[in-house]
Every structure is written in structure tokens, then in C-alpha cells.
């Protein structure tokens, strides 16, 4: 089912949580709402579900305005951040709840309900756990019960609020790949909220980056990662080093080191910020054109890449990620002087405030 969001504004007293959101979600799409806490992503999800009423603006399901419709009539499957399982009911009763509260004429027989619950338990790979209580399940199992419970009412859209937020990192990695596969099977329009950029980029068809109640950029994971609309998006989607630079004659100068990168900002700009990811910096032992000098301040080679912190000649710490092979062949030691080259960087106007 397609969802249209038109000029949604949500105010809590004087605080504007959403400042005019426009967004269209295609049928069958898996969309991530990504942003830091306080960016309004959860509020937007709750407005779509009807758990929160927008101050102004409309929500459309398949072109119909549902803004004034009650939550219980919208037919959304909502998975809460802390699962919100009914603690006094076992897994079977939890999943069956949505079917059992239906008006008598729409309610399936108790036999059909049980059949459906077992089908769903198989789908979320929890067969045999029907008699357990939520307190007897692990975090990941609770998460999947919550999902099965939401799916039981055959929702038109599935909304997940930080679905893996309270799980440990190993479980969350497994679960998000599983969610992706599940979505590929069910093709249900799905929106999930996350503050974890890795999760959003890995799972979603499209990522909507939000900040302070606005959408900064919406696009495929590729687009937002490689063609960030602004400094905020670039900064939020991974570790970055920030350099303040001066522009002169088509060249950028950090302190007094000239750096040749394509200047993407308007030519009359005098100051800009350069953002560069740690893996797009290169360390060498000898001076290169457009390189700057620094001293190795900290080394950590545990992990898939070695992390090196270089104290630059203008006194700032610069983070560099070096592939393990190169790290070994360079034989870097703490306190050594090295040269750092910028392979690719993003330039943004100085006036852009993060």
C-alpha cells in the first residue's frame, strides 16, 4: 500500500517535532527513517500509525486521507521499541490478540486463530514457543513475537520503531538481515526508524535522513552515501574529519597547505568546510603533492582496518583508516612523522550549520 505524507507539522507545546514533512512511500517499499535522537523520526512514524495526531497536514493511505481515522481502524502493524508484549499473556495469546478483539462477525474461529498463530510462529522461527510467557524469552525472541503479533492482523503497512535498538550487536545484525529477507518474501510496505546508519544503509530500499524535524535527504542507500545533499547527511552517515578551509583561485587551503580537490561550491565563496571520511585519507612516509605533515598520536590495529590518529601540523587530530596490509608494510609507530593525502573529499559552504 502506498503512503502519502503531506505537510505534516507536529508541535508539542512550543517545541516543533516535525516542521512540514512531505514524503511518498511506494507500495512494497522498505523505507528507513534515519536520524539522531530528537530528529522527529519516531514522531513521524507515530503520526503515520495514528498514535500521535499531527498539528496540521495529512496522511494518505492509497490516496485516501486517513488523518482523522482512529489507530484501531487504520490497519497498521506497529512494532514498539521495547516490544510492548502483553506480559500476562503467553506467546500464543499475544499473537492471537489482534484476531480475538475483532467484532464477532469478522472474528475467525478459535481453531483458525490457532492455525494462524502457528503459521506466524513458523514464519518468525519460533515454533514450539507458544506456551511461553514474554519473561521467558530472550530479547531477540521477544522482538520476533512482537513482529508476529503485528503481522497477525494482516496489516496494510508495517511500522517498526527502533526495531533492533534494545538488542545486542550480534543479534541485531542477524535480525536485520532476516528482516530484509522477510520483506523480500512478504512485500509489505514497511517503514522502520533507526539511529544506526549502518542498519539503514544495509536493510532499506530507500533511506530518509531526518534532522530537527525536517527531511535532509531521501534516496537509495547509494545515493545518500555517495551523493550526500549536505554536510549533515555526510556527517551522519559515517565517521568524518572536518577541516575549515580558505578558497583561493580554485584551490582549497587548510591552514597553509594547499589541497587540490574539485571545488563544488560557488566561486565567490571564501570559506568552506571539507569533510572527509577516515578511509579516504592516505598515509605515506614521504611528502606528496597536496599532502600535509603530521605526527602519529594513536594507533589501533584491532579490527578490519587499522585506525590511526595523526596530529596535524595545525594542531588538530585527524582520523585515518589504513587497510591492514598497508599498515603492516608501512610499519607505523607512535610518534613518527608521516604525510597525509586527501583522496576524495566533500566541500560544503561554511554557513551550513550542523
Partner 1 sequence: MVGREVRRPFLSEPRWVRMLLTTVALVFLASFLALPIAMVLAQALKKGFAFYLHALSEPDALSAIRLTLIVAGVTVPLNLLFGVAASWAITKFDFTGKKFLITLIDLPFSVSPVISGLIFVLLFGAQGRLGEWLGDHNIRIIFSVPGIILATVFVTFPFIARELIPLMQAQGNEEEYAAVTLGANGWQTFWKVTLPNIKWGLLYGVILCNARAMGEFGAVSVVSGHIRGLTNTIPLHVEILYNEYNFTAAFAVASILMLLAFVTLALKHWVEWRAAKDAASSEPGAETP
**Which 62-91 positions form the footprint of partner 1 (CB under 8 A)?**
71-72, 75-78, 80, 82, 84-88
Stretch that binds partner 1, among 16-24, 94-102, 260-268, 299-307 (CB under 8 A): 94-102
Q: Nearest approach, Cβ of 126 to partner 1 (angstroms)?
A: 13
Measured from the CB atom, the residue of 87 and 333 that comes closer to partner 1 is 87
CB distance 81 to 152 below 8 Å? no
CB distance 322 to 308 below 8 Å? yes
Residue 13 φ/ψ, nearest 5 degrees = 60, -125
Q: Nearest Cα to 199, choosing from 232, 167, 171, 173? A: 173
Q: Which residues contact 106 (CB under 8 A, 6 or more apart)?
A: none
Measured from the CB atom, the residue of 49 and 59 that comes closer to partner 1 is 49
The answer to the question of residue 339 lying near partner 1 (CB under 8 A) is no
Distances in Å between the alpha carbon of 113 and those of 12, 36, 79, 116, 269? 40, 40, 20, 5, 66
| Sign of the four-CA dihedral 90, 174, 197, 29 | negative
Q: Nearest approach, Cβ of 52 to partner 1 (angstroms)?
A: 10
The answer to the question of residue 1 lying near partner 1 (CB under 8 A) is no
**Which 109-168 positions form the footprint of partner 1 (CB under 8 A)?**
133-139, 149-150, 152-153
Measured from the CB atom, the residue of 45 and 201 that comes closer to partner 1 is 45
For residue 331 the three cell numbers come to 610499519
Task: List, in sequence order, every residue forming a beta bridge with 157; answer none if it has no partner.
Answer: 76, 189
Measured from the CB atom, the residue of 84 and 280 that comes closer to partner 1 is 84
H-assigned helices in the chain: 41-49, 71-74, 91-100, 110-123, 139-152, 169-186, 197-203, 221-226, 231-236, 324-330
Q: Nearest approach, Cβ of 304 to partner 1 (angstroms)?
A: 29
Q: Nearest approach, Cβ of 155 to partner 1 (angstroms)?
A: 9
The answer to the question of residue 170 lying near partner 1 (CB under 8 A) is no
Q: Nearest approach, Cβ of 70 to partner 1 (angstroms)?
A: 8
Sites of contact with partner 1 (CB under 8 A): 49, 51, 71-72, 75-78, 80, 82, 84-88, 97-98, 101-102, 133-139, 149-150, 152-153
Amino acid at each position: 500500500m502506498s503512503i502519502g505524507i503531506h505537510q505534516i507539522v507536529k508541535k508539542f507545546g512550543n517545541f516543533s517535532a516535525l516542521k512540514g514533512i512531505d514524503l511518498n512511500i511506494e507500495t512494497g517499499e522498505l523505507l528507513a527513517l534515519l536520524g539522531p535522537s530528537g530528529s522527529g523520526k519516531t514522531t513521524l512514524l507515530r503520526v503515520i500509525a495514528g498514535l500521535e495526531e499531527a498539528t496540521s497536514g495529512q496522511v494518505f493511505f492509497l490516496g485516501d486521507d486517513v488523518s482523522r481515522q482512529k489507530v484501531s481502524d487504520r490497519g497498521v502493524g506497529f512494532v514498539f521499541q521495547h516490544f510492548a508484549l502483553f506480559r500476562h499473556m503467553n506467546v500464543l495469546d499475544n499473537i492471537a490478540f489482534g484476531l480475538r478483539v475483532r467484532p464477532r462477525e469478522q472474528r475467525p474461529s478459535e481453531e483458525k486463530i490457532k492455525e494462524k498463530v502457528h503459521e506466524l510462529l513458523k514464519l518468525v522461527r519460533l515454533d514450539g514457543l507458544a506456551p511461553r510467557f514474554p519473561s521467558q524469552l530472550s530479547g531477540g525472541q521477544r522482538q520476533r513475537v512482537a513482529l508476529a503479533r503485528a503481522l497477525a492482523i494482516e496489516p496494510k503497512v508495517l511500522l517498526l520503531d527502533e526495531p533492533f535498538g534494545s538488542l545486542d550487536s550480534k543479534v541485531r545484525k542477524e535480525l536485520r538481515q532476516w528482516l530484509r529477507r522477510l520483506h523480500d518474501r512478504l512485500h509489505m510496505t514497511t517503514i522502520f526508524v533507526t539511529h544506526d546508519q549502518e542498519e539503514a544503509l544495509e536493510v532499506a530500499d530507500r533511506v530518509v535522513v531526518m534532522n530537527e524535524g525536517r527531511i535532509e535527504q531521501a534516496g537509495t542507500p547509494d545515493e545518500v552515501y555517495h551523493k550526500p545533499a549536505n554536510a549533515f547527511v555526510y556527517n551522519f552517515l559515517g565517521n568524518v574529519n572536518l577541516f575549515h578551509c580558505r578558497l583561493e583561485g580554485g584551490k582549497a587551503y587548510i591552514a597553509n597547505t594547499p589541497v587540490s580537490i574539485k571545488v563544488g561550491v560557488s566561486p565567490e565563496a571564501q570559506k568552506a568546510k571539507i569533510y572527509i571520511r577516515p578511509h579516504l585519507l592516505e598515509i605515506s612516509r614521504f611528502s606528496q603533492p597536496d599532502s600535509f605533515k603530521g605526527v602519529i598520536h594513536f594507533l589501533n590495529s584491532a579490527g578490519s582496518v587499522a585506525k590511526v590518529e595523526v596530529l596535524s601540523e595545525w594542531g588538530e587530530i585527524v582520523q585515518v583508516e589504513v587497510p591492514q596490509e598497508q599498515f603492516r608494510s608501512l610499519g607505523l609507530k607512535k610518534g613518527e612523522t608521516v604525510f597525509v593525502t586527501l583522496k576524495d573529499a566533500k566541500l560544503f559552504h561554511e554557513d551550513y550549520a550542523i
